[in-house]
Structure 1
Amino acid sequence: MESTSSLQTPSLPQRSRHGRPRPETTDDESKPPIEALNQSAALKKLLARLETLHSLRLQVASVNVGD
């Protein structure tokens, strides 16, 4: 059993090809902000829809006032 425990090494920081330690990165920094881009696109769509609905509401209000 001691042979398996001797194989376990303490966790060392990952090193790049050249042997230098890699800079510490969080999960947010290591992956592209796809979620943020998707949120931004969804917000832009919602804003465009809101502007359309608002302009339609103004058109309906102007027609109602004209009658």
Structure 2
Amino acid sequence: MVRRNDGRQLGDPAKAADAIRAALDAPHPPLHLALGADAVDAIRAHTTDLTAELDAWEHLARDTAFTNEEEKP
């Protein structure tokens, strides 16, 4: 499969290597590095969905905190 798809990938491997080197050389390298428009689009879609879900359930998540020191075990 790898040989069959060689040269047909969406991105340029040399540009990807340059991007990785640039990220590694940065003063504050990213924890995650998206390479390619398809990766950026997929991550943006996922974070949009994740944010919407967090917004919808935030009240429930925040309600799990202790209300005062006396309730702690």
Is this a same-fold pair by TM over 0.5? no
TM bin, normalised by shorter chain, reads 0.3 to 0.5
TM-score (norm 2): 0.34
Larger RCO of the pair (alpha carbons < 8 Å, separation 6+)? 2
Q: Which is greater in Rg?
A: 1
Structure 1 length-normalised TM: 0.37
